[in-house]
Each structure stands twice: as structure tokens, then as C-alpha cells.
């Protein structure tokens, strides 16, 4: 069942009260960017106190510093003037529940949605699958703290990132709503 009609109705109501938002500037008003996970339980606007136009929010699976995430951060800085960045992973992240080998095997077997059981993800679909997953680094997470440290270090050491940009590392706790600083990611 599609949610298309629901989304379009919600958009219509939003557009009706859009008002002065049409005048928001292209650069983010508060001059910072957040790299975080796509998990639906995370609402960066709420946990970081954002209004529309305040900050760039870049989301991907795990909130990882992939090439594309770094591309977005560099554009955010170079063309739109952000001066500070946050890397925010979260507890109970789905990227902790599998490895590259697991997702590659699942996709090689079937392109249908997998199921999550007590011993991890398993395939419930039938083929065909694809071996194309073998060529992707899925950036899975074994240790949340270590992944934040690695991502902050990767961003800070990237040749297109000026050393003067502060990059902060945090883990969002999905049970309390709190941001927990990762001290080794400073």
C-alpha cells in the first residue's frame, strides 16, 4: 500500500502555511552541518533545536563519512559557508546488525526485503539476486564509539577539508534523546 496520497495531502497542508519560508537564504543561517543516520527515530531538527534554514543535515545509513557525505560537507563549507560540523551516530543502529559479507550474501541470493531474527538478518525471498553488492563498501558498524572516532578523523584528515573547521563527534541515545559526546573524536 502506497503512502503517496498521504504525503501529497500533508504537503498541500504544509504549502498552505509556507509563508515567509520562501525568503530563507540559501546558506544555512546558523552556519553548521550535521552528518547523521537516516534512521526514522532520529529527528535532527528536534534534537539539535533546528528550524528550517538553520543548518545542513546530511543523512545516510549509519551517518557514516562516506565519499558522498564528505562531498556534501565540502560543498556545505566551500559554497555555502558552514564553519562547524557534527558527526552524530546513534545507539541501536541497524548498521550494527550485519556485516558487509552478510548483506552481500543476502543480495546475491535475492533482491527481496530480508527479515531480522534472533540470529540476524535472513533471506525470505527467492532469486534472482545480484553480485553487484560485492563492489560496495557498506560501512557497517562494529563499535559505535570507534565508528564516530573513525569518521571524525576521516573528515578532519581529508585533503579538501580545511583544518580550521571544528568537527564534533556524538552518539544520539535513542532511549533518552540525549547527545553523548565521544571524547576521542575531538
Residue pLDDT, tens place only, 19-60: 999 999 999 999 999 999 999 999 999 999 999 999 999 999
pLDDT at 167 over 90: yes
Instruction: Tell me the three cell numbers of residue 91.
Output: 545507539
* pLDDT at residue number 1: 78
Grade residue 125 by pLDDT with cuts at 50, 70 and 90. Answer: confident
> By 3-state DSSP, what share of the chain in percent is helix, strand and coil, each rounded to 5?
40, 20, 45
**Delimiting residues of CATH 3.40.1050.10 domain(s) in the chain:** 4-96+140-185
Which residues have CB under 8 Å from 101's CB, separation 6+?
A: none
Grouping H, G, I as helix, E, B as strand and the rest as coil, residue 163 is coil
pLDDT at 169 over 90: yes
Distances (CA, A) of 86 to 23, 101, 179, 181: 26, 29, 11, 10
Backbone φ and ψ for 56, nearest 5 degrees, come out as: -85, 135
CA angle 12, 42, 165 (to 5 degrees): 105
Percent of the chain scored above 70 by pLDDT?
100
CA 156 to chain centre: 18
What is the average pLDDT value for the chain, to the nearest integer? 96
Grade residue 127 by pLDDT with cuts at 50, 70 and 90. Answer: confident
* pLDDT at residue number 186: 85
Per-residue pLDDT of 74-95, as tens digits, reads 999 999 999 999 999 999 999 9
Mean pLDDT over 96-104 rounds to: 96
- pTM (two decimals): 0.94
* CATH 3.40.50.10540 assigned to 4-96+140-185: no
- Strands 120-122 and 115-117 turn out to be antiparallel
Classify residue 46 by its DSSP letter. Answer: H
Q: Which residue is it, cell 573524536?
A: 185
Least confident of 56-65, 120-129, 173-182: 120-129
Percent of the chain scored above 90 by pLDDT?
95
Least confident of 122-126, 174-178, 180-184: 122-126
* pLDDT at residue number 144: 97
Q: How far apart are CA 140 and CA 148, in angstroms?
A: 12
Classify residue 96 by its DSSP letter. Answer: G
pLDDT at 63 over 90: yes
Amino acid at each position: 500500500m502506497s503512502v503517496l496520497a498521504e504525503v501529497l495531502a500533508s504537503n498541500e497542508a504544509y504549502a498552505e502555511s509556507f509563508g515567509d519560508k520562501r525568503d530563507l537564504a540559501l546558506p544555512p543561517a546558523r552556519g553548521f552541518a550535521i552528518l547523521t543516520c537516516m534512521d526514522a527515530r532520529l529527528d535532527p531538527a528536534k534534537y539539535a533545536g533546528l528550524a528550517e534554514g538553520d543548518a545542513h543535515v546530511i543523512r545516510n545509513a549509519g551517518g557514516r563519512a562516506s565519499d558522498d557525505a564528505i562531498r556534501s560537507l565540502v560543498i556545505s563549507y566551500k559554497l555555502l559557508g558552514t564553519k562547524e560540523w557534527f558527526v552524530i551516530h546513534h545507539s541501536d543502529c541497524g548498521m550494527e546488525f550485519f556485516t558487509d559479507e552478510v548483506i552481500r550474501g543476502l543480495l546475491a541470493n535475492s533482491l527481496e526485503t530480508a527479515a531480522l531474527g534472533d540470529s540476524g538478518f535472513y533471506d525470505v525471498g527467492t532469486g534472482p539476486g545480484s553480485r553487484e553488492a560485492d563492489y560496495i563498501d557498506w560501512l557497517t558498524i562494529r563499535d559505535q564509539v570507534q565508528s564516530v572516532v573513525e569518521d571524525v578523523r576521516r573528515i578532519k584528515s581529508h585533503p579538501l577539508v580545511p583544518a580550521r573547521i571544528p568537527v564534533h563527534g556524538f552518539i544520539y541515545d535513542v532511549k533518552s534523546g540525549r547527545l553523548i559526546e565521544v571524547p576521542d573524536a575531538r
